[in-house]
């Protein structure tokens, strides 16, 4: 099952040096989850070959413009392109007010349903579940209410050893029960031990998205043992004072978080416009956590 994230924007605050404000597209079993939607996100989707119409879920971390200014444009385009299926948006409550106001004054009546779910930044909670994934909020510490999101795959059914089943001419109607792990007795008395005909499915993985935040141990339990941690790394550590004032994290701190929570892999992004080249940011994080990569636009990372 596919579980991968494509970076559509990795800049903080403003678009600069060909870096766009924050947006990511998570593909979980060919369902698409847009995480934040900075200005220019729909252009980025086109540039990297994704169809906006395939996005059914949008998660907005907080209401600083670099995380949602692209949303009204994207929603309008979906409307103009004749979308009829609903879109589900998880975001701070005030975002709906903002959208309603924008649609009101442009006299736009969106012809598809927007199912809005208000997030709150008080306690971490599960906000979504389908057959593929569970989504929980991560309570971050920023200047305004801000939640990250943890996406955890659901455990899949067991995998059939099809060659063996076909070779022994086991009727296909028994396959679903075998997938569920059941031992079977056939009408002729033959016993099929499940373990002989199936393999365990892959262990479920999890992706944690931590957008703007201070280094704050209160959110660490929400991201413990994740497979891929995306964490903002707005500044180099020499700018720690500035990071604290603006409620952001340094590259060194992001790497410390990854180490403390036992993440398997760290992706860093949300780079300040003061950095034209990103290598120093990567180098700094690597001193603490060696499985670190830069979140580069257009690149797809396996969770
Ligand atoms: Zn930001
Ligand atoms: Zn912010």
258 Cα–ligand 1 center, Å: 20
247 Cα–ligand 2 center, Å: 8
- From the CA of 22, the nearest ligand is 1
Residue 142 labelled as part of a binding site: yes
196 Cα–ligand 1 center, Å: 52
71 Cα–ligand 2 center, Å: 16
Ordered by where they begin, the domains of the chain are 3-156+202-302 (3.60.15.10), 159-199 (no CATH)
Dist CA 98 CA 188 (whole Å): 66
Looking at residue 202, what is its pLDDT?
Answer: 84
Virtual CA dihedral for 87, 90, 93, 95, nearest 10 degrees? -60
User: How many residues would you count in the chain?
Assistant: 303
7 Cα–ligand 1 center, Å: 15
| 48-62, 147-161, 164-178, 278-292: least confidently modelled range | 164-178
| Catalytic annotation present for 66 | yes
Task: Report whether 137 contacts 125 (CB < 8 A).
Answer: yes
Looking at residue 17, what is its pLDDT?
Answer: 77
Residue 248 labelled as part of a binding site: no
Residue 256 neighbours by CB distance under 10 Å: 17
- From the CA of 233, the nearest ligand is 1
Report the candidate in 142, 147, 144 with the shortest Cα–Cα distance to residue 248. 142
Residue 167 labelled as part of a binding site: no
Top pLDDT among 189 and 86 is at 86
The pTM assigned to this predicted structure is 0.91
Residue 36 labelled as part of a binding site: no
Tokens of 227: 């497979």
Rounded to 5°, angle at Cα 281 from 152 and 45 = 50
DSSP 254-294: HHHHHHHTT-SEEEEE-B-TT-S--HHHHHHHHTT-SSEEE
Name the percent of the chain lying above pLDDT 90: 82
Residue 183 labelled as part of a binding site: no
Report the candidate in 263, 274, 268 with the shortest Cα–Cα distance to residue 251. 268
Looking at residue 20, what is its pLDDT?
Answer: 95
pLDDT(174) > 90: no
Q: Which residues surround ligand 2, an ion (CB under 5 A)?
A: 64, 212
CA separation (Å) from 3 to 43, 57, 60, 207? 23, 15, 20, 9
Looking at residue 15, what is its pLDDT?
Answer: 80
Tokens of 18: 């060909």
């Amino acid at each position: 099952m596919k579980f991968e994230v494509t970076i559509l924007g990795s800049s903080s605050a403003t678009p600069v040096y060909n870096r766009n404000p924050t947006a990511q597209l998570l593909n979980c079993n060919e369902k698409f989850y847009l995480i934040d939607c900075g200005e220019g996100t729909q252009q980025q989707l086109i540039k990297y070959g994704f169809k906006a119409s395939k996005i059914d879920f949008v998660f907005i971390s907080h209401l600083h413009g670099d995380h949602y200014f692209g949303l009204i444009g994207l929603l309008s385009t979906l409307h103009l392109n004749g979308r009829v299926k609903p879109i589900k948006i998880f975001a701070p409550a005030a975002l709906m007010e903002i959208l309603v106001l924008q649609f009101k004054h442009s006299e736009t009546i969106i012809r598809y349903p927007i199912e809005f779910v208000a997030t709150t930044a008080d306690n971490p909670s599960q906000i979504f579940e389908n057959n593929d994934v569970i989504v929980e909020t991560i309570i971050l510490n920023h200047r305004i209410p801000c939640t990250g999101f943890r996406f955890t795959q659901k455990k899949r059914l067991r995998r059939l050893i099809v060659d063996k089943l076909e070779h022994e001419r086991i009727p296909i109607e028994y396959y679903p029960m075998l997938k569920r792990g059941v031992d079977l007795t056939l009408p002729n008395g033959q016993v099929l031990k499940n373990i002989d005909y199936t393999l365990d499915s892959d262990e479920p993985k999890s992706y944690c998205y931590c957008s703007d935040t201070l280094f704050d141990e209160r959110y660490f339990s929400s991201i413990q043992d994740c497979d891929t941690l995306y964490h903002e790394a707005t500044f180099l550590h020499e700018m720690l004072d500035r990071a604290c004032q603006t409620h952001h994290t340094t590259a060194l701190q992001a790497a410390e978080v990854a180490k403390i929570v036992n993440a398997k892999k760290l992706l860093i992004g949300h780079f300040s416009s003061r950095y034209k080249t990103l290598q120093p940011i990567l180098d700094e994080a690597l001193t603490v956590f060696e499985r670190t990569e830069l979140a580069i636009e257009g690149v797809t990372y396996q969770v």
